[in-house]
Amino acid sequence: MVSKPRKPTQKKGSTAKNSSRKKTSARKVSIADTKGKQLVIVESPAKARTVGQILGKKYVVTASQGHVRDLPKGKMGVDLDQDFEPSYVTMQDKRSLLNQIKKAGDQAKTVFLATDPDREGEAISWHIQTAAGWDNQENPPKRVVFHEITKQAVEEAFEHPRDIDMSLVNAQQARRILDRLVGYQISPLLWRRVQRGTSAGRVQSVALRMVTDREREINAFVPQESWTLDALLQKLDPQDNDLRSFVATLHSVKGTNKRVNVSDEKDIRVYESELKGAKFTVDDVRKRNVKQRPSAPFTTSTMQQDSGRKLRFTAQRTMSVAQQLYEGISVNGEGSVGLITYMRTDSVQVAQSAIGEARTYIEDKYGKSYLPEKTRLYKTRAKSAQEAHEAIRPTSIMRTPDSLKSALTADQHKLYTLIWSRMLASQMADAQSEATTVNIGAMCAGTSE
């Protein structure tokens, strides 16, 4: 499944693929001497610093800076007659880096592939292993997976290494092949029929269909006229200093429980004329206690939604900042620290240790009354959820946003505060409030009620 590396050529009609990770040009790096040491390969320099600090001097941690191989840019790169077999080439700007990684790995006692714990990370590890020629060795690289970059999580992962999961790799390959098939076969048609420079993609084409269908529903909608009537009222009690105005809305006619629905201006004007000069009195006041359960910890999608609504961050900006928090931030006195768990997840489940830490913090900070009697456990409602990872949470609830303010950028602090607050609230007791409903009667002129 591997073709000989060859210089890719840019074809005038090729399209960009849908990718969940931002591509960057490889930086020039120098890998330390690995003789007698263990080589660990991750994706980014920031992650390499954090993991290297945890593992110590017996390990050399380096970064692949993302993918090292991909489908060629100048042609399809997928053999439709051979079960969609992909043909990969080493990226031109990664050739030197890959040679350095191969040399360092050949000299090391053991190679550990510690890329992200998802299908993209699994594929990066597989591509590195295959391109370096390590897949047929007697002692092939070991795959280690951790969902948060903390001392406990990293050390536990290295105590339980595994082989590369080809099911995850194949899932990533299927996605990448679909990207290429959709882009290369539909985009040229769009150039001819719509406009030059337009493109189609595996994700954007489906999203466009959803938007189009919704727009058609809007255009097909037949608007219906609806009217409401509000009265601006004020207390008449001269002994009451609270003389603020309030609004009452026409709900029903006395003697009936049927809500007033008015679809014509003439009818609403009749009600308006009858209620002008009416005497308004409070008929009854009803109060009830309202409880509201806290929301579950963040998944990727709920984090993006909340960040967009409260912080005005785009999805891309949210994920970029979350990646920084996950890979490690330099914290005074601690060095580089991973502050949140892995940010690509559809799970709302949280480790028991993290729940215990949150409950301890809540009791110490706010008191027992803020804790529910039973530990809160959450389940994902979506049937398609894979739940391969935990929810997005702080690696330690004890690292409060205020304690990290000097170490974080403005964006990092805003998003960390959002994640920290959501996790803490998820383990609190229900919020309690009182809802009050006031029924006001109107005695119209010339009537007894």
Active site members:
342
- C-alpha distances (whole Å) from 397 to each of 1, 339, 406 are 46, 10, 17
166 is written with which tokens? 């080809």
Helix (H, G, I), strand (E, B) or coil at 305: helix
- Written as six digits, the tokens of 82 are 């051979």
Instruction: For residue 136, give the DSSP letter.
Output: T
**CA distance readout (Å), 154 to 161, 318, 389:** 11, 25, 15
**Distance between CA 344 and CA 338 in Å, rounded?**
15
Helix (H, G, I), strand (E, B) or coil at 398: coil
Contacts of 152 (CB under 8 A, 6+ apart): none
Instruction: Tell me the residue type at 181.
Output: L
Neighbours of 25 (CB within 10 A): 9
Euclidean distance between CA atoms 251 and 232, whole angstroms: 15
Q: How many CB atoms lie within 10 A of CB 184?
A: 20
Q: Which regions of 298-390 does DSSP assign to beta strands (E)?
A: 329-331, 335-337
Q: What is the rounded distance in angstroms from the CA atom of residue 114 to the CA atom of residue 48?
A: 10
In Å, how far are 6, 195, 366, 371 from 363, measured between CA atoms?
Answer: 62, 62, 6, 7
Is residue 438 within 8 A of residue 282, CB to CB? The reply is yes
Answer for the pair 147, 153: CB distance below 8 angstroms, yes or no. Answer: yes
Give, in order, the Cα–Cα distances in Å from 429 to each of 157, 292, 303, 372, 425. Answer: 34, 9, 22, 4, 8
For residue 57, report the phi and psi dihedrals to the nearest 5 degrees: -75, -15
| Residues contacting 258, CB < 8 A, separation 6+ | 252
